[in-house]
Amino acid sequence: MSENSSNSPSNVYIPPKVWSWNKQSGGKFASINRPVAGATHDRALPVGKHPLQLYSLGTPNGVKVTVLLEELLELGISDADYDAWLININDGDQFGSGFVAANPNSKIPALMDHSNNPPTRVFESGAILLYLAEKFDAFIPKAPAKRAECYSWLFWNIGSAPFLGGGFGHFYAYAPEKFEYPIDRYAMEVKRQLDVLNQHLADNRYLCGDEYSIADMANMAWYGALVMGKLYDAAEFLDVASYTHVLRWMHELQQRPAVKRGQRVNRVWGVEQNQLAERHDASDFERDPTEIMQQVIARKQAQE
């Protein structure tokens, strides 16, 4: 529609010739969003006692990794023991120089593997899942056709979840106003994605058939949480109850002890017993979450 069209509504947005950064744009994450990359401040990353050092937050992208690490430990793979440090994205921790060195994209999760010299950095949740599954040869099918299926559902998640989080979640839950056009567009896409999973899970116990894998972990953190009503308060709006096969799959996964533990790590909101701001030892799951949170706050204050 042209600028002079007689049909133009008076409040229509006409993009300027060159976009410029308007910090006042509003929305829940307006204060941390920037159009440039790189560190905003010097802050070294802490390093704990285990070879694997995870820097994360208990959002779906973070939970994918902590569930895998807890599953590896549940299998008895002690080399998968890890420290999970809290990166609070609302406080801008992802723009500290140490974190940016681990992930130039400034997003959780980021992993440093100190069992290699120099330590190996891995960023992007899908890359971390693949790296750990291959390193420990677990939760990834061995047969080539099944492994390909696992890659497919894993990368399906990496490509699809941003429409759920950055698209639907942003406009339904976080934008400063409810805009019909983007909510409609992304609700349609998210329902289509749920139907993709639902139809597949009608005939498959797990995403790769009968083998539980990193593809389940990646998708459970997003679409499983969504159908359980844990994301964006959107269960009724999206009629999640109609995706019965996704629900069946998620209910089964929720029974796993490693899933229960992994979902708590680096979580700093919601019901207190479900939180564990940082995990440095298996015994941390038995500790008082408030005490752990207080220790994290004290450490962060000392760093400032």
Ligand X SMILES: N[C@@H](CCC(=O)N[C@@H](CS)C(=O)NCC(=O)O)C(=O)O
Interface residue list for ligand X (CB under 6 A):
32, 59, 61, 89, 94, 106-109, 124-126, 158
Strand pairing category for 82-86 and 52-56: parallel
Q: What is the nearest approach in angstroms of ligand X to the Cβ of residue 33?
A: 7
Between 162 and 209, whose beta carbon lies closer to ligand X? Answer: 162
Do 82 and 53 meet the contact criterion of CB atoms below 8 Å apart?
yes
Strand arrangement, sheet containing 110-113: 82-86, 52-56, 110-113, 120-123
Q: What is the nearest approach in angstroms of ligand X to the Cβ of residue 124?
A: 5
Between 154 and 276, whose beta carbon lies closer to ligand X? Answer: 154
Q: What is the nearest approach in angstroms of ligand X to the Cβ of residue 94?
A: 5
Q: What is the nearest approach in angstroms of ligand X to the Cβ of residue 32?
A: 5
- Partnered with residue 123 across adjacent β-strands are 110
Between 59 and 263, whose beta carbon lies closer to ligand X? Answer: 59
The amino acid occupying position 108 is: I
State the residue for tokens 């993009």.
15
Hey, which bits of the chain come out as E strands?
52-56, 82-86, 110-113, 120-123
Nearest in space to 87 (alpha carbons), one of 77, 79, 98: 98
Between 198 and 266, whose beta carbon lies closer to ligand X? Answer: 266
Between 158 and 296, whose beta carbon lies closer to ligand X? Answer: 158
In angstroms, the Cα distances linking 70 to 7, 110, 276, 300, 301 are 58, 16, 14, 26, 29
Q: What is the nearest approach in angstroms of ligand X to the Cβ of residue 57?
A: 6
